[in-house]
Every structure is written in structure tokens, then in C-alpha cells.
Structure 1
Amino acid sequence: MTGTLADEIRSRLGDLSPAERKVARVLLAGYPAAVFETVATIAERAAVSTPTVLRCASRLGYRGFPDLQAALRAELDARNASPITLYESSDAVSDEEEGETVAGEARLEPRLALLQQALSQTFHEVSAHEFDTAAQLLGDPRRRVHLAGGRFTHLLAQYLGLHLMQVRDQVSFLPDRDVERTSFLTQLARRDVTVIFDYRRYEEDMTVIAELARERGGKVVVFTDPWLSPASAHADVVLISQVASGSPYDSLTPTLALIETLISAVLDRLGTDAHRRMKDGEDIARRAGLL
């Protein structure tokens, strides 16, 4: 499954009968906890019969309600996966146990194919509307842009931010130190755009930052994986990247490609202003001995 069970249910609402749609809406309203309720409880909340709940699960493509619940358990396991759990469940462990060795050359082709598939799927599935909105927000010189990321993804935040700094003003990174971070967050305002990178295992502070930015009337852009960071609940724009790789670590290659494409779109929006800013920056860097 490339999306969540909730995404799947939403996409199939049109295939359901009116009574079955009531069941689906109960599941979505309390997702994911509602899916683990008993059939009788869900039927009562939806004001339908228990056979209707079972028919809804069947219409969604599952053999029964326990099968639907099992699909959600698998989704939650994947959502909370760590490099060590991915490693322990991968073929790498069994290969080591059997003493198998594979030449480095032989490993490149399947790994390349996996990355190519993840990259292609990311660009095929990303919402054109979400992407255009992100480019519009980041290309609006009247807005301040703030960027934040997690353990590894702060590198992606810096990559995007350093490019933006070359073509527009008012770009900053979330500070590391507590006092500075607190001051930074208290200054979030209505015309700000906060860009957050948050991939499994999700980091709670990213969700809090998104919530604060939204509460203060600003716009929030979240880069995340198919299981969706909790910060997505507070986002105006969600850009999803596939993360499949040939190792226990999620691949951020598709996200990097998406960032570079977004930078290109922002440049198109800024036009000659971006070119002028780049020239000014180069001149100042040369005078200051930085180039």
C-alpha cells in the first residue's frame, strides 16, 4: 500500500452504498483507533446493522473486518519502523545467517531499480496542486520562510534553505539552542511559511512547530513519507515522497529530487528578481573574500 488505509477508504467512498458510507465515515472520523473497535460498536455509532459493517469491509476489498484491522496493524508497524526493525526483517539477516555473499556489482542493479521506482512513483503521485502551492508560497517575497527538520532530514531543510537564501530574502532555520528556539517560535506570524521535514520515526517537536505556526495564522508545508507525519494534520501543503531503499535506512533520494524540482519552480516564479539577487550575492561574496 503506497497510501494509508484512510486514503484507501476515502478513495472508495463512491463505491459504497449510503449505509456503508456511514460506516466509512465513522472509521475516518476516529482513525486509526476507530478501526479497532468491535463491529457492534461501529454499527451502533454509524446507526446501521452489523452486517452492513461487514459488507463495508468486503466492499473495500477485504475478506472481512479482521482482515481490514490486520491491514491497519501492518500500516502502523510500517509507520513506526526503525532502521533496526527494518534490518531485522530484511533479507540481509538471512543472507548473513546462511553465509551467503553477493558481489558488489551484482547488488547495484536491484538497488538502482528500487531507487528508480521510488523516484518515479514519487513524481507520479505528488499532487500538482500541492506542489504549485508550495512553489507559490516559497516564491512570495513578502513572506518569511522558516525551515526545520529532524535527525537526518535537517540536512534536507538546510539544502532547500541555502538555495532559497541565494534567490530571496527572509529565509531562516529553526535554532538548535532552547532559548533561541523559544524566541524564534514566539515570533511566528501570519505571513510566515514554515517548512517541516518529518519522516518515520516522527519527531514530536516537528508536530508542535507545525501546530504553533498554524495557530498564529501562518502557512505550513510538510515534506513526509507515505505514512504521513502527525505534523501533516496542521499543514496547508503536504509533499509525500517514497522511501523504499535497499538498506534498513529509508531513502531520501526522492525527497532530494523533489526539493530540486521545487527550487526550479520557485526560480521561475521569482524571475528576474532571483537573477538580480544571485548577482548581488556573488558580488558581495567576492568583495568579502568568500568566493
Structure 2
Amino acid sequence: MFTLSHKAGGDRSQGKILISTETHKTVSDVIAANFTALTRAERQLAETLLDNYPVSGLGSITTVAENAGVSTPTVARMVQKLGFRGFPDFQARLHQELEATISNPISKHDRWATNAPGTHILNRFADATINNLRATLAQMETQDFDGAAALIADPKRRVYLIGGRITRTLADYVFTHLQVIRAGVTLIASGSSPWPHYVLDMKKGDVLVVFDIRRYEQELETLAKAARSRGAEIILFTDQWSSPVAKSAAKVFRVHIEAPSAWDSSVVTLFTVEALIEAVQNSIWEETRDRMKALETLFDATPLFRKPFQERKG
């Protein structure tokens, strides 16, 4: 697990910040963290809740119990064991999460504006970004990061990238770098009509990198399922609540995106993908260096970049 040092705030232990992640954890995080401590019946309930999360937990306590094939007292015991005051408290948290994932830009802006402190917007954005970075790194495992880098760096695998309405710019950014680093990289055009043609060419072991944050896009979930059915390995960049694409993904990066704005923040997502780009580049540097040299030769043959000290004519 990553640790991020920061001079202001927090308790220190051996030079490390002790990050309180409770405010950042979703109900699914809490269930996963305590899964091994649950009884057999409680694990059965937990698996049912996570299978269609968070909708599976929004019915009455009787309905939730029946859907999981357990007793009502089992539901009541488990939610208390997880730290909730009772089933109503448990459901309230689920409703808050669901509301957060479907918030539109106007409601997000109004929520921040209502509680906005008197500090300058630059300070508020900086605080939000630092909190997002700390919370994201606190729950990110190095082996997952390294595994994603290894998948993308493998020359035997083609790499496909796609993003949503806003996140397509992130997919394009990663694509621009990866096509310099290695061969066999494809940016999937936006919209549902062209993607079946890309899936048609996917082979077992190929990699699909998906960017999907709230409000999650149906076509990305459908694409991920189709790619997975052809044996593709899916790497997902999503938010703390997690896109439905996660059910098809081999690696999931859950990045915190809240900001004092009508829009979600992409700062920590960009931080993560830039670190991933470097990890991929470093792991196959010899091949990448040869590609870079060849590319620079091609650049020299074009007027794309201004050359310093170039002799002026006229």
C-alpha cells in the first residue's frame, strides 16, 4: 500500500501519515475489508450484495435476506458487525453513494457552493486534490499497478483504449504516449456504432483500457463485456464508487475525483496514468528508445516542429 507524506494535518507514526480512510470508503470497501471475518451465511449475504451493488442492498431487510437466501437476523447482525448502527444506517449510506454516482453537474455545483468556505478557489481545489491523491494511494496496491503495467508492456498483446464523453481525452492522452513506446496500440473511436469492428479484431490476451467515471456510460459496459468474452484483459480507470465495467475488469484503478466544482477532477487520474506510462516505458526501454529514434528521424523530415537557430528566409 502506498503512503503519501504531507506536512499539514494527520497523526504521524514513524514518519508516515496515518490516513483516516473511513470517510473515503464505500460500503463495498467495508464489506471487502471485513469479508474474512464474516460467518458462512454472512459471506453468502455479502457476495449477493456485491454482485449487483449497490442496488441489491436497497430493498427491505426482508427482501435483501430472501435474495441472499439467509435469515433477516443474519442481515441485521452483519451490518452491525460492519460498523453500521443498523440496517437503516446501512441503507442510508447506500443511498448517499447512489446519489453521488448519478449527480449531474448542476447538483454537484450546488452541493459544493452551499458548503463553500471563504478561502480562495485555488486553495479549495488544492486541498481537494491533495485529499483525492492521498485517498487514492491509500487503497492502491503496488502489485495491481505493476500487473497493469506488465499487461500493457507485453508486445504479444495489442492494446486498445477508450473513454467516455469527458474521459476520452484521457484515453487519447495515453494513446499518444503508448504509440511511441510500443507497436500495436489502437484508440477506439467514440460512439457505439464503430466498436464492434474493433472487438472483432481482439484476440485472447489483448488489453482493453477503459476510462469510465460517474455518470457511467452504458456503451462502455457493453463493450467491456464483449471484449471480455473474446478473452481480452480489461484495465479500468474509474472513480471511488466504481463503474459497472469493474465486473469485467482484470485490474481496476478506483481514483477519487471529488472537487469543488460542477465537474469531477481528472488530476489524480492523470497522475496515475502518467506513472503507469513511465512504468511501461521503463520496462521496455530498449525497444522504446529505438522507436523514439526512428520517430525523431521522421519528425526531422517534416515541418512539424520549429527547429532552433533555423535560418530564416526572405
- Report if TM-score (shorter chain) is over 0.5: yes
Computed over aligned residues only, the root mean square deviation of the Cα atoms, in angstroms, reads: 2.3
- 1:60 alignment counterpart: 82
Percent of residue pairs bearing the same amino acid type: 36
The count of corresponding residues between Structure 1 and Structure 2 is 283
Distance in 2 (alpha carbons) for counterparts of 1:133 and 1:94: 40
Give the match's secondary structure for 1:200.
Answer: coil
Distance in 1 (alpha carbons) for counterparts of 2:158 and 2:45: 43
Amino acid at match of 2:265: S
- 2:260 alignment counterpart: 246
Is 1:212 paired with 2:234? Answer: no
- 2:309 alignment counterpart: none
Q: CA deviation at 1:120?
A: 2.5
Given that 1:195 and 1:222 are in contact with CA atoms closer than 8 Å, whether structure 2 keeps it comes out as yes
Question: Could you give the per-residue CA deviations for residues 223-252 of structure 1, whole angstroms, max 9, x where no partner exists?
Answer: 100111111111111111110212121100
- 2:54 alignment counterpart: 32
- 1:194 alignment counterpart: 208
Amino acid at match of 1:89: R
- 1:281 alignment counterpart: 295
Change (3 A) 1:46 1:276: closer
Given that 2:133 and 2:268 are in contact with CA atoms closer than 8 Å, whether structure 1 keeps it comes out as yes
Distance in 2 (alpha carbons) for counterparts of 1:40 and 1:7: 23
Q: CA deviation at 1:70?
A: 1.1
- 1:111 alignment counterpart: 125
Q: 1:50 aligns with which of 72, 77, 102?
A: 72
Q: CA deviation at 1:94?
A: 7.2
Given that 1:114 and 1:244 are in contact with CA atoms closer than 8 Å, whether structure 2 keeps it comes out as yes
Q: CA deviation at 1:15?
A: 3.4
**Structure 2 residue ranges without an equivalent (≥5):** 1-22, 306-314
Question: Could you give the per-residue CA deviations for residues 207-235 of structure 1, whole angstroms, max 9, x where no partner exists?
Answer: 11111111111111111001111111111
Amino acid at match of 1:143: R
Alignment of 1:1-16 (within 5 A): 1-16=23-38
Is 1:140 paired with 2:154? Answer: yes
State the TM-score, normalizing by the size of structure 1: 0.88
Amino acid at match of 1:159: Y
Give the match's secondary structure for 1:227.
Answer: coil
Q: CA deviation at 1:177?
A: 6.9
Distance in 2 (alpha carbons) for counterparts of 1:14 and 1:165: 42
State the TM-score, normalizing by the size of structure 2: 0.82
Give the match's secondary structure for 2:29.
Answer: helix
Higher helix share: 1
Alignment of 1:33-182 (within 5 A): 33-44=55-66, 49-90=71-112, 92-93=113-114, 106-176=120-190, 180-182=194-196
Q: CA deviation at 1:18?
A: 4.5
Change (3 A) 1:289 1:270: same
**Structure 1 residue ranges without an equivalent (≥5):** none
Change (3 A) 1:58 1:94: closer
- 2:311 alignment counterpart: none
Is 1:260 paired with 2:274? Answer: yes
Given that 1:210 and 1:231 are in contact with CA atoms closer than 8 Å, whether structure 2 keeps it comes out as yes
